[in-house]
Amino acid sequence: MADAQGPEIKLPDPVELSRAMARIAEQSQKLVSDFLARQAESAASPGSPDPANIGSAFLEMTARMMADPAKLMQAQLSLWQDYMTLWQRTTARLMGQDAEPVIRPTKEDRRFKDSAWDENALFDYIKQSYLLTARWLQSTVHGVDGLDAHTARKVDFYTRQFVDAMAPSNFAMTNPEVLRTTLETGGENLVKGLENLLGDLERGKGQLAISMTDYKKFEVGKNIAVTPGKVVFQNAMMQLIQYAPTTEQQFRRPLLIVPPWINKFYILDLRPQNSLVKWLTDQGHTVFVISWVNPDESLAEKTWDDYMTEGPLAAFDAIEQATGERELNVIGYCIGGTLLSSTLAYLSATTGTERIKSAMYLVTLVDFQEPGELSVFIDEEQLRMLEEKMAQEGYLNGQTMSVTFNMLRANDLIWSFVVNNYLLGKDPFPFDLLYWNSDTTRMPRAMHSFYLRNMYQKNLLVQPGGISIKGVPIDLRKIEVPTFMLSTREDHIAPWKSTYAATQLYSGPVKFVLAASGHIAGVVNPPSAEKYSHFLNPKCPKDPEQWLTGSKQVPGSWWPDYAKWVAKYAGGKVPARVPGTGGLPAIEEAPGSYVKVRSTD
């Protein structure tokens, strides 16, 4: 059934629909029972029904708002005027006249990319009405006076979560693409979407684990993390990978990468064309990478000290055994960089840092005074709740961490998949980066509590003697190692102005580079991609804005800048080293077995 004005309308096949619903009912019966049992168990267990303490924050915000009724009335009047203007322009448009939109989505907002949001007057009205309400709600909440900084940030954050969740694009009846697809498929998209929803609940063992990619399309060591190499050392906390040379000669001093353990190391080795590991090997470096263990309850008592001792310090000695070379250069990424700075401060206070010829920090926080939106999750109520949860399991589940990070970019990392998977009934697109993002890791109880309390909550790392490692008070100001710092302008995890604060801490020479894009894309940006840009300024004034004002924008990747810089500390050339033929025999092929342990196993 079709006409000249619209697509063919396909009526549902009652037999197929009945079979599909029977299949869904059978699949969902156990899931629903398990879900209800968990809810009953949760309700019976002690603890706050509002662990994030959101309710009290909004109560305080409401009280402050009501204390200034004139300001609230002005905000209401402004919203009413915007609604009246929108109604008038929509009426004019329905009468065939041209009408300028009252409000437009930002260029980055992909929720309204379907042409019907602009071409159809009704959906255009729905879109603009939502955008006006969202703007009013967020500006009104943001403008409340008298709130302390943490409460204000929490109110802003959760208001945005609510606003994002209520977008008309997230609902079948107000999303034109979903309505069109439903008509074209006779509702098959919604049936398939329900099956996808149940599948994600089953995969998450009763919690909604939204599928971001086709997980069957990827296998670590088969089509991602495939740069050739060998595991040459391992202990309870990590495996050390040495990568095969791609040049006849290599720099004398090896290069060690200390990745984060909040995610897995192969973000730096996704595919050959965007692998920083392979690119550094191609530049003539003997590259080593720490592959952290995915801890279980047996490692619950592992501490920050253990991560240093069994991580970088153990790797330094193993690299010397493997290559005969005591001196090396080191890269730390995110929390791996925070650990690297702690390690160098510890060495500065004990045996010295002479063997470390340079340190490179990728999007690394050491001063947590302004840690960005992650601070929303760091207050006494939430930390206590988190520690109670970790005490029961011995670790923080990787899915919990994943949800936290995804909330920072909810439209891109949550709601877009809700629409695609559940409303449109589509399978997610195979994407290596999103496979990595979903391949979560656990956090040992003792280490994670120490990290959150002493760094995020108390900001002790930048205080001389504020933190002791293995009983030794450390001071970042004693680090004299030449430093290269890379931050990214749109980083929502390690805000660049906060990472910049470290330029004023280290005693050695510091080079700071600011890349475009975010925490991942700004780092994993090979020169061949010819994407983004970066900013250079040889000086490091105290004010980050002053640094940016005096910087020079350079097209393309920052990788060549680092290669040129680190070459000064890499020593002369030596014959290429083959993994497993030096002082340490090969244990297994890269990427090793530790990285293949999944949190869902």
Q: What is the CATH number of the domain that holds 373?
A: 3.40.50.1820
Kindly state the average pLDDT of the residues 593-599. Answer: 93
pLDDT band at 52 (very low <50, low <70, confident <90, very high): low
Please indicate, yes or no, whether residues 234 and 127 belong to a single structural domain of this protein.
no
pLDDT band at 51 (very low <50, low <70, confident <90, very high): low
Residue 427 has pLDDT above 50, yes or no: yes
CA distance 553 to 59: 45
Residue 476 lies in a domain: yes
pLDDT band at 1 (very low <50, low <70, confident <90, very high): very low
Residue 92 lies in a domain: yes
Beta bridge partners of 444: 395
Say what the pLDDT of residue 426 is. Answer: 94
CA distance 192 to 300: 41
Name the active-site residue from 293, 319, 334, 443.
334
pLDDT band at 38 (very low <50, low <70, confident <90, very high): low
Kindly state the average pLDDT of the residues 28-44. Answer: 55
| Percent of all residues in the chain with a pLDDT value above 90, rounded to a whole number | 68
Please indicate, yes or no, whether residues 235 and 182 belong to a single structural domain of this protein.
no
pLDDT band at 7 (very low <50, low <70, confident <90, very high): very low
Please indicate, yes or no, whether residues 317 and 459 belong to a single structural domain of this protein.
yes
Say what the pLDDT of residue 37 is. Answer: 60
Q: Is 334 a catalytic residue?
A: yes
Beta strands 472-473; 588-589: pairing state: unpaired
Say what the pLDDT of residue 185 is. Answer: 83
The tokens of 205 are what?
A: 């063992």
Strand ranges in 423-556 using DSSP code E only, listed in sequence order: 443-444, 468-469, 472-473, 483-488, 510-515, 533-536, 552-555
Q: Domain of 67?
A: 47-186
CA angle 151–154–156, rounded 5-degree value: 110
Kindly state the average pLDDT of the residues 438-464. Answer: 95
Please indicate, yes or no, whether residues 355 and 469 belong to a single structural domain of this protein.
yes
Say what the pLDDT of residue 515 is. Answer: 97
Beta bridge partners of 514: 487, 535
Kindly state the average pLDDT of the residues 452-474. Answer: 96
State the average pLDDT for the chain.
89
Instruction: Tell which wins on pLDDT, 48 or 126.
Output: 126
pLDDT band at 76 (very low <50, low <70, confident <90, very high): confident
Span 368-391, pLDDT tens digits:
999 888 888 888 888 998 999 999
pLDDT band at 19 (very low <50, low <70, confident <90, very high): low
Residue 487 has pLDDT above 50, yes or no: yes
Please indicate, yes or no, whether residues 176 and 304 belong to a single structural domain of this protein.
no
Residue 26 lies in a domain: no
Please indicate, yes or no, whether residues 487 and 591 belong to a single structural domain of this protein.
yes
Q: In what order do the strands lie in the sheet with 510-515?
A: 552-555, 533-536, 510-515, 483-488, 356-362, 328-333, 255-258, 287-292, 238-243, 229-234, 588-589
Residue 49 has pLDDT above 60, yes or no: no
